[in-house]
Amino acid sequence: MKNVYDFTVKDRSGNDVSLNEYQGKVLLIVNTATGCGFTPHYDPLEAMYRDLRDKGFEILDFPCNQFANQAPGDADEIHSFCKLKFGVEFPQFAKIDVNGENTEPLFAFLATEKPFVGFGNGIKNAALKKFADMNNKKFGDKAYIKWNFTKFLIDRNGNVIERFEPTTDMTEVRKAIEQLLG
């Protein structure tokens, strides 16, 4: 059975990184953007990373510019922004596509393991769904990820445990991570 350890991704410099290097850790894999309304998620993400990394937790950050061009710049510019504005220390990888013909295979796998089930209730969530649906029409059946800051929780064996949409409260995300860490 396939798991995340079977994938190789590119770091910010374009070098191959086998996710097998993270074997035995609890992972949160997230697609991000620096100009999104959800960009403030970097604060609780970094807080979780600082608090939990010694317990075997890692965040893997993949910038993506497919949602309203909210991740302009190259990987180094994005990293500099995140470091200066949010103090990000967790690994940031090469900028990728999470939808369409050039989808990063890791994200196609993650989204297939845990498909989109909705943004939740409320006016803001309904508005995001409408905007995301319009944006993702161009990707057809390859619209795996609906918006920036979609997060996937991976257990220590490389299995996809849960998918969190960007509208999920970050305290709920942290609680799930802490439960998995034991």
* pLDDT computed for residue 131 by the predictor: 82
Of the candidate CATH numbers 3.40.30.10, 3.40.50.1100, 3.20.20.70, 3.90.550.10, the domain formed by 4-181 belongs to 3.40.30.10
Q: What is the average per-residue pLDDT within 91-118?
A: 95
pTM of the model: 0.94
Measure CA 143 to chain center: 15
**138: pLDDT confidence band, cut at 50, 70 and 90?**
confident
* pLDDT computed for residue 141 by the predictor: 86
**Which pairs with CB-CB distance under 8 Å and at least 24 residues apart come from 72-80?**
72/34, 72/35, 73/34, 75/12, 75/13, 76/12, 78/34, 79/12
What mean pLDDT is reported for the chain?
A: 93
* Rounded Cα gap, residues 110 and 10, in angstroms: 17
On whether the CB atoms of residues 97 and 105 are closer than 8 A, the answer is no
The total number of residues written for the chain in this structure:
182
Closest CA to 91 of 163, 136, 28: 28
Catalytically active residues, by annotation? 36
Q: What is the average per-residue pLDDT within 55-72?
A: 92
Domain boundaries, the chain: 4-181
Angle of the 170-181 helix axis to the 42-52 helix axis, nearest 10: 20
From residue 118, how far is each of 27, 121, 132, 134, 158 by CA, in Å? Answer: 22, 9, 11, 15, 24
